[in-house]
Amino acid sequence: MTSTLSIKDLRVSVEGQLILKGLDLEVKQGEVHALMGPNGSGKSTLAYSLMGHPKYEVEGGEVWLKGQNILELTPDERARLGLFLAFQYPTVIPGVSLANFLRAAVNAIRGGEVNGNGKAQVGVPIAEFRKMLTEKMELLQMDKSFARRYLNDGFSGGEKKRAEILQMAMLEPEIAILDETDSGLDIDALRIVSEGVNALSGPHMGILVITHYQRILNYIQPDFVHVMINGRIVASGGAELAHELEAQGYDRYLKQVSEVSR
Amino acid sequence: MAQQSTIVKDPVIEAGVFTRHATLALSERLNEPEWMKEKRQVAWSIFEEMPMPTTSDEDWRRTDIRSLKWDQLQLSVDSNLSPVSKLAELPEHLRLALDEGLDASGRLALVNGQVVYHELAEGLSEQGVVFTDMASAVHEHPELVQQYFMTECVAPSEGKFPALNGALWQGGAFIYVPKGVEVKGPFQVVVALEGEGAAIFPHTLIIAERFAKVTCIEETVSSDGAGQALNNGIVEIVAGDGAQVRYAEVQRWGENVFNFNTKRAIHHPDSLVVWEMGQLGGRLTKTYIDSILRGNGSSAELNGVYFVGDKQHLDLDTLTHHIGLSTGGDLLLKGAARDSARAVFQGMIKIDPTGQQTNSYLKNENLLLSDHARSDSIPSLEIDANDVRASHGATVSRVDEEYIFYLQSRGISRNTAVRMIVEGFFSSVFDRMSEERVREKLAAAVSARIGD
């Protein structure tokens, strides 16, 4: 059965201010969606709310995945259900190596958490895990030494983004949200990251690419493009919509919104 | 107006358990030579004259010891363990503490001050290396003990607890490494407290001559007693010219133990003393760790972790005293407190006018794992020289919610996320520890504490 992330009338506030004002969107496994919008339109708020960051207050609406309203679940339960978020600004965690972190995450997702002495009770055998890690790191052209480094500690912007996609590759989510994954990447890094995403995408993964610019969509071909303005989706279409936005900008949509609110 | 005089009663003297008579009886029982008997008597007299520290003393401001019931303690509770000649014959908890299965240059097990096991690797005696218990050293190496025991390192007059140890010491290790000798494997010592109301006063003395090299790993354990128990210990280290001494301590007393310690190293020129420390147990701990950098070019390092929970109270005082020219200090301590535990750290870097070209660093970081846990970190600097580099840093913080969210977003449960973050917090200290067995033991102990 195909999983669908189904967002219905989602309203979210941050520090008392309403940011998402009734957002509807469906992303099915196997589809690639692009969500585009100017700064401040609420794109990142959507990403964080879907993953369950405590700072974002859900005021109304529902988000369904595999028969569950995920707004009632903790972030780790959402992840275990098959949701993934590649962060725009990944957190630096001192003292936790990328490899140990990934092993804990892989075991958590595949059933069987890591217990007190660091040994997995159930989950992926260590040899299989290492093999998988080596393969995925090669795919993303990451040096082996990254596995031993502390999570995102001292990583450059591009390295952090690659590490995010590496996590996505290891966890094999059903629905992945890429929040401004293209920001801060030079053209080579953008190509490597995009190729990585393309290699992973397929009938088993639905992807929501959140971006300000059309640039990343030269590499990752979307099936659907949505325009987000002021907390709502104001237009949806095919890949051609992205090209139109690139040429004409968001002005037309911004005017519409201000006329409606008048 | 009526004249008022307040006589502050000494709780130890009041209790009548530890007395001059007990001190004499101990000398008698150990068949001690006159000079050691004399040392004990002098220490006892100093003890009698000194007031018990209270929270009005700056050092003790955050540590109140009035809950210690001196009248419920006993000196020399007999252990039901008789001495054994093979390591395999020791009970499991002592064998674990001695890292059975790993190479060691020697092992010593002390239960309630009595030696229950002793071994020394072949060939070391021939090189003049001594590794024995303190009481045996008094008989076998009187000239060394007379020269170094509470003379230039820790003096009885320094405090109530050092004085009491000087009067009632029993057990502890004695290590002597002659000029140029490098002892390869570590000496391993376990100090155990057993039985209700037991009180021990271990005294360890390590003398490393010119260019000698030695490592000592000490672990402390106790049986779960219902009543209070007491450990009042001293460690004296004398590092000769160019000598290198590593002293590691894994402190895992039960939660009924009141734990007082004075540990100090005297540095001769170009010597290095590394303290590695894990403080995990004890009801109340007050430990001083002092590095007296007297010799030019000498340096001190400390890599320490502590983890307290329930109602534990831990108070650590470090002193890095730069007297010689071009000396170095590098202290890193990290601690976590949970439940309603309290950790206190007071660290002093003191640089004398003679201590030009000093490089001294002190860093203390604390993590609070519950709303009721408390941590105070008080580093200070006293600098009387103008060509020095010295810095200190102290932090007290909670586990960052952003860290937890990030790990949770990858499917890791909140509990596991917190454990990983706390383990990660400590790892920079473990990374600096040179003895793998100490590092592993402490890492495992810390993990176990986060989980329970």
Half-sphere exposure of B436 (CA within 13 A, CB side): 4
CA B269 to chain centre: 24
Give chain A as a 3 state SS string.
Answer: CCCEEEEEEEEEEECCEEEEEEEEEEEECCCEEEEECCCCCCHHHHHHHHHCCCCEEEEEEEEEECCEEHHHCCHHHHHHHCEEEECCCCCCCCCCEHHHHHHHHHHHHCCCCECCCCCECCCCCHHHHHHHHHHHHHHCCCCHHHHHCECCCCCCHHHHHHHHHHHHHHHCCCEEEEECCCCCCCHHHHHHHHHHHHHHCECCEEEEEEECCCHHHHCCCCCEEEEEECCEEEEEECCHHHHHHHHHCCHHHHHHHHHHHC
Whole-angstrom distance, CA of residue B128 vs CA of residue B147:
17
**Quick one: pLDDT at residue A120?**
46
Residues of B in contact with A84 (CB under 8 A): 409
Task: Inform me whether the pLDDT recorded for A256 exceeds 50.
Answer: yes
Task: Inform me whether the pLDDT recorded for A116 exceeds 50.
Answer: no
A90, A105, A117 ranked by CB distance to B444: nearest: A117
Please tell me the distance in Å from A160's CA to the nearest CA on chain B: 13
**Quick one: pLDDT at residue A231?**
95
**Is there a contact between B447 and A116 if contact means CB atoms under 8 Å apart?**
yes
**Quick one: pLDDT at residue B61?**
96
For the beta carbon of residue B298, count every other beta carbon within 10 angstroms: 30
**Quick one: pLDDT at residue A260?**
60
Amino acid at A184: G
Contacts of residue A58, defined as CB under 8 A and 6 or more positions apart, other chains included, come to A10, A11, A12, A49, A71
A187: exposed, middle or buried (C-beta count within 10 Å: 0-12, 13-18, 19+)?
exposed
Q: Which residue of A lies nearest to B411 if distances are taken between CA atoms?
A: A76
Interface check for B25 against chain A (CB to CB < 8 A): the answer is: no
| CA separation, residue A156 to residues A8, A138, A162, A212, B331 (Å) | 37, 18, 10, 21, 30
Amino acid at B122: E
Residues B193, B257 contacting (CB under 8 angstroms): yes
Whole-angstrom distance, CA of residue B342 vs CA of residue B375:
6
Amino acid at A82: G
Mean pLDDT of A196-216: 92
Q: Could you say which residues of chain B have pLDDT below 70?
A: 1-8, 77, 451-452
Place of tokens 């010593």: B108
Interface check for A93 against chain B (CB to CB < 8 A): the answer is: yes
Mean pLDDT of A126-135: 94
**Quick one: pLDDT at residue A214?**
84
Mean pLDDT of A5-22: 96
**Quick one: pLDDT at residue B1?**
47
Please tell me the distance in Å from B347's CA to the nearest CA on chain A: 24
Q: Which residue in B131, B233, B136, B243 sits closest to B188, CA to CA?
A: B131
**Quick one: pLDDT at residue B131?**
98
Q: Where are the domains of chain B?
A: 11-295
Mean pLDDT of A82-108: 95
Chains A, B: CB contacts within 8 A come to 94
Q: Which two tokens stand for residue A243?
A: 């090209």
Q: Quote the percentage of chain A above a pLDDT of 70.
A: 94
Whole-angstrom distance, CA of residue B415 vs CA of residue B61:
35
Q: What is the pLDDT of residues A161-195, one digit of tens each?
A: 999 999 999 999 999 999 999 888 889 889 999 99
- The CATH T-level fold of domain A4-90+173-261 is Rossmann fold (3.40.50)
SS3 state at B147: helix
Among A147-151, A157-161, B300-304, name the most confident range: B300-304
Interface check for A150 against chain B (CB to CB < 8 A): the answer is: yes
Mean pLDDT of A58-70: 97
Q: Quote the percentage of chain A above a pLDDT of 90.
A: 75
**Quick one: pLDDT at residue A117?**
46
| Average pLDDT across chain A, whole number | 91
Contacts of residue A52, defined as CB under 8 A and 6 or more positions apart, other chains included, come to A70, A71, A73, A74, A75, A78, B405, B408, B409
**Quick one: pLDDT at residue B410?**
97
Residues of A in contact with B440 (CB under 8 A): none
**Quick one: pLDDT at residue B6?**
55
Interface check for A90 against chain B (CB to CB < 8 A): the answer is: yes
**Is there a contact between A74 and B414 if contact means CB atoms under 8 Å apart?**
yes
Interface check for A87 against chain B (CB to CB < 8 A): the answer is: yes
Interface check for A167 against chain B (CB to CB < 8 A): the answer is: yes
Q: Where are the domains of chain A?
A: 4-90+173-261, 93-154
Residues of B in contact with A78 (CB under 8 A): 409
**Quick one: pLDDT at residue B3?**
53
**Quick one: pLDDT at residue A136?**
94
The model's confidence at residue A247, banded by pLDDT at 50, 70 and 90, is: confident
What's the ipTM? 0.94
**Quick one: pLDDT at residue A134?**
95
Amino acid at B304: G
**Quick one: pLDDT at residue B449?**
82
**Is there a contact between B425 and A85 if contact means CB atoms under 8 Å apart?**
no
Amino acid at B3: Q
Single pTM value for the model:
0.88
